[in-house]
Structure formats: C-alpha cells, structure tokens
Amino acid sequence: MNVHDSEKIAGILTAKNYELAYNPNEADLIIFNTCSIRQKAEQKFYSQLGKLKILKKKNPKLKIAVAGCIAQQEGDNLIKKVPYVDHVLGPQNLEFFNNIFEEKEKILALEENPHLQYLELPIKRIDKVKAFVNIMYGCDNFCSYCIVPFTRGRERSRPSSAIIKEVKQLSEQGFKEVILLGQNVNSYKSQYDFPGLLRELNRVGENIKRIRFVTSHPKDFSLDLIHAIRDLDKVCEHIHLPLQSGSDKILELMNRKYSFKEYMKKIEILKKEIPNIAITSDIISGFPQETEEDHKQTINALREIEFDGIFAFKFSKRRGTKASQMEGHIAEEVKSERLSEILKIQDEITERKNKELEGTIQEILIEGFSEKSADQLTGRTRTNKIFVSQKSNKILPGDIVKALIIKGNKHSIFGNFLI
C-alpha cells in the first residue's frame, strides 16, 4: 500500500514537471513516505531523518515532507520534535502534494478524507510488468495490535467502474499483471462484491494475464471467492490469508473474529477446491499473554497447514492500540526465541514444498534481471514462488514462458526455460 502511495506522490509531482533526484544533495524536496506498523520501521525513519539536519543547514531552500502513517500519527508533534520538517501529510491527503512547491507555510494535512475512494491521482509506476491497483482504502476491523484503522481511516471501496477502467488502461500500456490492493479485499462492496469484481476484471484487458490481490481477512473469506479463484483463468492460484496465531485465546485478544477451527475449515475447502493453491500467511509471535502452550498451538498450526511461506514478526507495541495497554507483555528474549522457532519450522516446510516442484513444468511471468547477477532472469510462478534462471536472449521481462524446475531452494526455485 505504501509503495503504491509513493507511486502516486511521484505521479503528482512528475505531472507538474518535477523530476526524481537520485542524490539527496541535488533534491529541492525530500519526502519520507513512512510506515508505523512496527517499531523498527519507525526507528529507521527517525534515524534517516536525523541525517538530513546537516543537509538542511547547508541548503536552507531544501524542503522536507513526511507522509504516511507516522505523519498521521504524530501530526504537528513531528514538527515540534524535529523543527526542520516542513510538511506533514497523512495517507488520506496525498493531493496536497499538488501545491507543495507553491506553499509558503508548513502544510499539516491530516484530515479524514471522505472522498478518497473517488479521487483519481496520477501514478508514476516503478514496474513495467506488474501494476498495483487500489480497490479500497482504510479498515474497519480494529485488530487490537494494529494502527491502520487509526491512520488510514474507515473502510471505503473504490467504484467498480473506476477499477475496471484503470485495469483496461494498464492492459493498453502493456502491463501483464495487476495486484489489487486493500486492507481487507474480501469486504469490498461497490457495484460488485469482491468475487463479482474479479469476474469482471477477468474479462477486461487482453494483455493482462494475471490477477492477484492482498490482503484477505479470514473472517470474510467466502466460498464464492474460492470458486472465483478456482474458475477464473487470470486469477492466480495463490492466497495470502493471515492466521496470526494458532491459539483461540490469542486470536480473541487480537480481536481477529475467527477461531483456529473456523480458519482450518476454510483452508480445507480451499485445498479441496483448488489442489494446486499456494497459501501464505502472517504470524505474530509473543503477543501479550501468549503462554508456551499458545505458542505450541501456533507451531502445530504451521505443521498442520503447511503454508508455502509466512511473514512472521515479534509483537510490536503500537501507541494508541488496545494491545499496547494489555497486561502480560512478553519479554523480548522470549519473543525472539519463539520467533526463531517459528521461522525455523516454516523454512523447513517452505524448502520441502519448493523441492516438491523439482521436475515439474511451471508457467513463469518474467519480471526482470536478478539483483544478484545480471546473467540471471527472475520471475514468478502463478503460485507466487520466486523463479530464477540463466538469462536467454529470446526472453525479456514481461514474457510468459514455461520452465522446467530443476532445484527448489528455501527462498526461490531455479529452472530452465522450455523454448
């Protein structure tokens, strides 16, 4: 979501003929698009911001803007704390970037924007193959650990017609994949519901070959959506379904509104209806009041479900959330131990699942050249596994090709193109 917001900020400014500077010394305006989902992201931001003090002294004309969730949370406190910050813009107020160079006073834009879903901002996309498309903004779920409903506001769905139009344009521009974005896409509601929107999008744009979406809240994950993934040729066989914990007690404290049994039931239907589905998830380790027994239940859940991959993090206290006020916070070293165990077990499962692909033929969308070696191309399977191969003169980013998988590793699969 933040990456796409950055594309919108860049879109607004390039539409006004400003150019990206590749060195902070050359910039007239430095923008931080911040994330406050975990403490570590916040610390990183403050450390980078601190480094700009000297630059600002050398060049008093330089402006510094802070956007995103830290901006929303801190508001004018940020300017009080760091006086050389010029502008503070929350994630619902990106259109203020339109006048950022003309504005003589400090901008403080933090209001809830009730029209956000109707706002069509220019976008400067960083990728030429895959494109993010917002389908909704905000969240109504108030998971007890999460800051998003406070920073991004209430849930609002973008009109289906605007989404369909954007996907058609992306197809005309040659994009191959769209990634639909929402905090909880399953509760999308406009002219169509979410499975209905997928059915419409599956019909438009002949260049678009793949449709993905993030994120699905398990409580709203419906049979109709499972059928849409199963039946629609462009919708990829991958679902990210955050479990967070295998313990019902912790799920309740998290306000997740499902039990482990209910979650499992949906996983079973999903695996039965779409046998080649890849399932990934999020796990929080060391939530307040998590006992060894609760942690064991999460470990058991990982073994039972066998996710293709997970994002797992230690619980991070976020100011203003219910969880931050709870009793029974877990010591850092215990959180770290539990996280290590979770990651170790999941790594084994992921590697084993990737090895199971050896000898199979997979459809790969080539995304670009490997960061590790310019002699290698990278892409993804429909199930969202990272694929690596030696480069071929006949294959370019954006191509969809068949490949024989010869090696499954922990974080990627390696193969040869069948051409």
Name the site residues for ligand SF4 (rule: CB under 6 A).
139, 141-143, 146, 148-149, 183-184, 217
- Burial of residue 92, with CB atoms counted within 10 A of its CB: 0-12 exposed, 13-18 middle, 19 or more buried: buried
- Cβ atoms 308, 302 nearer than 8 A: no
Q: What is the CA radius of gyration of the chain?
A: 22
Q: How far is the CB of 282 from ligand SF4 (least distance, A)?
A: 8
Calpha distance 370→389 (Å, rounded): 9
Q: How far is the CB of 329 from ligand SF4 (least distance, A)?
A: 19
Query: Residues near 390 by Cβ (< 8 Å), separated by ≥ 6?
Result: 375, 376, 377, 416
By C-beta, is 46 or 142 nearer to ligand SF4? 142
Would residue 116 be called left, alpha or beta, if left means φ above 0 and alpha means ψ between -120 and 50 degrees?
Answer: alpha
Q: Are strands 309-314 and 63-67 parallel, antiparallel or unpaired?
A: unpaired
Q: How far is the CB of 192 from ligand SF4 (least distance, A)?
A: 21
- At residue 402, the 3 state secondary structure works out as strand
By C-beta, is 238 or 318 nearer to ligand SF4? 318
Q: How far is the CB of 5 from ligand SF4 (least distance, A)?
A: 15
Q: How far is the CB of 241 from ligand SF4 (least distance, A)?
A: 12
Calpha distance 54→390 (Å, rounded): 45
Q: How far is the CB of 318 from ligand SF4 (least distance, A)?
A: 10
Q: How far is the CB of 138 from ligand SF4 (least distance, A)?
A: 9
| Count of all residues that appear for the chain in the document | 419
By C-beta, is 171 or 321 nearer to ligand SF4? 321
By C-beta, is 35 or 143 nearer to ligand SF4? 143
Q: How far is the CB of 223 from ligand SF4 (least distance, A)?
A: 20
Query: In Å, what is the CA distance from 84 to each residue of 35, 59, 74, 143, 385?
Result: 20, 12, 15, 35, 43
The DSSP output letter for 107 is P
Q: Which of 383, 324, 400 is nearest to 73 (CA)?
A: 324
By C-beta, is 321 or 354 nearer to ligand SF4? 321
By C-beta, is 184 or 383 nearer to ligand SF4? 184
By C-beta, is 52 or 139 nearer to ligand SF4? 139
Q: How far is the CB of 334 from ligand SF4 (least distance, A)?
A: 23
Q: Are strands 413-417 and 136-137 parallel, antiparallel or unpaired?
A: unpaired
- At residue 240, the 3 state secondary structure works out as strand
By C-beta, is 146 or 405 nearer to ligand SF4? 146
Q: Which of 75, 121, 115, 74 is nearest to 98 (CA)?
A: 121
By C-beta, is 133 or 214 nearer to ligand SF4? 214
Q: Work out the angle at residue 81's Cα, subtended by the Cα atoms of residues 77 and 86, and round it to the nearest 5 degrees.
A: 80
* Side chain identity at residue 392, one-letter code: S
By C-beta, is 301 or 364 nearer to ligand SF4? 301
Cβ of 47: how many Cβ atoms within 10 Å?
Answer: 9
- The secondary structure element, H or E, covering residue 281 is strand 278-285
Q: How far is the CB of 139 from ligand SF4 (least distance, A)?
A: 3
